[in-house]
Amino acid sequence: MQFGNKIAILSGDFLLANACNGLALLQNTKVVELLASALMDLIQGVYHENSTSKESYITDDIGISTWKEQTFLSHGALLAKSCQAAMELAKHDAKVQDMAFQYGKHMAMSHKINSDVQPFIKEKTSDSMTFNLNSAPVVLHQEFLGRDLWIKQIGEAQEKGRLDYAKLRERIKAGKGVTSAIDLCRYHGNKALEALESFPPSEARSALENIVFAVTRFS
């Protein structure tokens, strides 16, 4: 395990060095600054995700606004700032760059929420299938339910110190969290489509729109 960890870290360093070399070759200081800040956001977001305890089953006491801030760091910043950087390289003005940033941000948020919702809407879900207790549907469920009742539900779903995810999943599905998460996914999808309206019609724009349609379709 120690050897594997060391190799994994070295591999990550190697890939990051190659990415930095590619950035330097672009010879654009604003793009370097944008993607450096995106990497900083990404590391901060992932660090927060990995720092939460997974053994006690006690989730963070956060609302959906805080969840969105944390999720942007870990899942949205890289795509948003990469889209902005692409417009900078194409020598577009600040307004176009901002629209590209907004598309990347909302597209990433929509994709993340879609992923979070899947364990609750799949027709064939294994009883042993786990899900993130800090995912969007769970955070929204906790927000509607109240912290005390949520902790009580977690306690009722535990058997011999182990969490029965199937039982807890049914409790969450019975509430408003899943439907609210789907609505939130579509909200961010619509925001991404709004950002694309500032670009002229083209095959590229249609392809980007199709990506949004794919992650906001629940059927």
- Domain ranges (residues) in the chain: 29-216
The third-level CATH classification (topology) of the domain covering 29-216 is Farnesyl Diphosphate Synthase (1.10.600)
Q: Which of 29-38, 45-54, 152-161, 171-180 has the lowest mean pLDDT?
A: 45-54
Tokens encoding 47: 């660090």
pTM for this prediction: 0.87
Which run of H or of E encompasses 55?
none
Per-residue pLDDT at 159: 82
| Average pLDDT score over residue span 152-173 | 88
| Torsion angle defined by CA atoms of residues 44, 49, 53 and 57, in that order, rounded to the nearest 10 degrees | 150
The tokens 């002229």 sit on which residue?
200
**Beta carbons of 101 and 83 less than 8 angstroms apart:** yes
- Does the structure show a pLDDT above 80 at 27? yes
Per-residue pLDDT at 98: 97
Q: What DSSP state is assigned to residue 163?
A: E
CA 96 to chain centre: 24
Model pLDDT for residues 194-209, shown as the tens digit of each residue? 999 999 999 999 999 9
Where does residue 38 rank: exposed (0-12), middle (13-18), buried (19+ CB within 10 A)?
A: buried
Q: What SS3 state is found at 60?
A: coil
Which run of H or of E encompasses 75?
none
